Amino acid sequence: MGCNAIRKQIDEADRPNAFSFEVSGHVASCEGCRGFADERARLRAMISSEARVQAPAHFDAALHARLEEIRSRRAFSWFAPAALMRMSAAAAAAVIVVFVAQYALLPGNPTPSNNPPNDDRASVNPAEPETPVQPTPSDEGGVAAAPPTIDVITRPPSRTNRRPSSRIDDLAALDPHLVIVRGERGDREVPIFTVSVGAQPHLYGTSSAPVARLAKASF
């Protein structure tokens, strides 16, 4: 074993001058390694002889006070800005969940091929509130020859003379909308409550069904 390896072992010894037999034999015969071992021993003794500092007498009391402060701070953590942000995020998530659930739970979502009236038909034009909507042949489940006998339109009950607005504005109203079912025995008005957030139902009627049915939902 060369001097470098010996000195590495000297440096890594658990205690100064506590070497293996091989290292001790080399140190006894090598002046350079002996000097290195002595120097390392003095250095380690000097470092370890440093007086150890003690924790102050008030250490435990100060620690206890800091712990109490942390506990009291945690008790009001809901008022912290981070907590408010978490609450806001939770509220936003709840709105999204309601939004998705409303759309998913709307009954009778038809396949795209059975989509009844398009968006224009379901939309309400305040200038022509009573214009009947003619369903396309696909509204009858693919039976093109059967003419519809029931027409469905929607309009807000008291908005016929308002300025033209988008359908979303009308559907967003909290007051009940009316579905006018125009059939062989005359028209019937069915009030439908709508919700301003989430999917809005588009209703249509067919000759085979005496009631208005959901055609699709839009946002």
Partner 1 sequence: MSTVTHQAQAVGLGNSRSVEAASDHELIAAIRDGDEVAFQEIVRRYRNPITNFVYRMIDDYDRSVELAQETFIRIFTSASRYQANYSFSTYIYRIASNLAISELRRRKRRRFVSLFSPFVNDDGETVEIDPPDLSPRIDETMIEEERRRAVSRAITSLPEKYRSALVLRDVEGMSYDQIAEVLSLSEGTVKSRINRARNLLKEKLSAYI
DSSP per position, 160-188: TTSPP--HHHHHT-SSPEEEEEEETTEEE
Q: Select from 44, 159, 167, 213 the one that contacts partner 1 (CB under 8 A).
A: 44
Which two structure tokens, joined as six digits, stand for 59? 């250490």
- Where does this chain touch partner 1 (CB under 8 A) — which range of 9-17, 116-124, 184-192, 204-212? 9-17
User: For 136, how many CA atoms within 13 A lie in the half-sphere containing its CB?
Assistant: 13
Q: Which of 1, 5, 18, 62 binds partner 1 (CB under 8 A)?
A: 62
- CA neighbor of 210 nearest in space, from 149, 126, 153, 169: 149
CB of 105 to partner 1, least distance (A): 40
Determine the Cα–Cα distance for residues 120 and 191; give it in Å rounded to an integer: 21
**145 contacts 154 by C-beta, under 8 angstroms:** no
Which range in 50-58, 78-86, 173-181, 183-191 contacts partner 1 by CB under 8 A? 50-58
Minimum CB distance to partner 1, residue 17 (Å): 15
Selected from 3, 32, 35, 39, the binder of partner 1 by CB under 8 A is 39
Q: What angle do CA 194, 200, 206 make, to 5 degrees?
A: 100
**Nearest residue (CB) to partner 1, 47 versus 105:** 47
Q: Which of 2, 21, 31, 46 binds partner 1 (CB under 8 A)?
A: 46
Residue 52 as a binder of partner 1 (CB under 8 A): the answer is yes
Q: Indicate the pairing of strand 186-192 with strand 177-183.
A: antiparallel
Sign of CA dihedral 59, 64, 69, 73: positive
Verify binding: residue 56, partner 1, rule CB under 8 A. Answer: yes
Of 55 and 145, the one with the shorter C-beta distance to partner 1 is: 55
CA 128 to chain centre: 42
Q: Is 66 in the site for partner 1 (CB under 8 A)?
A: yes
The one among 1, 67, 127, 197 contacting partner 1 by CB under 8 A: 67
Total of residues contacting partner 1 (CB under 8 A): 27
Residue number, 67 or 87, with CB nearest to partner 1: 67
The one among 2, 21, 31, 47 contacting partner 1 by CB under 8 A? 47
Write the CB contacts of 129 (distance below 8 Å, at least 6 apart in sequence): 153, 155, 160
> Which positions lie near partner 1, rule CB under 8 A?
8, 11-12, 14, 39-40, 42-44, 46-56, 59-60, 62-63, 66-67, 70
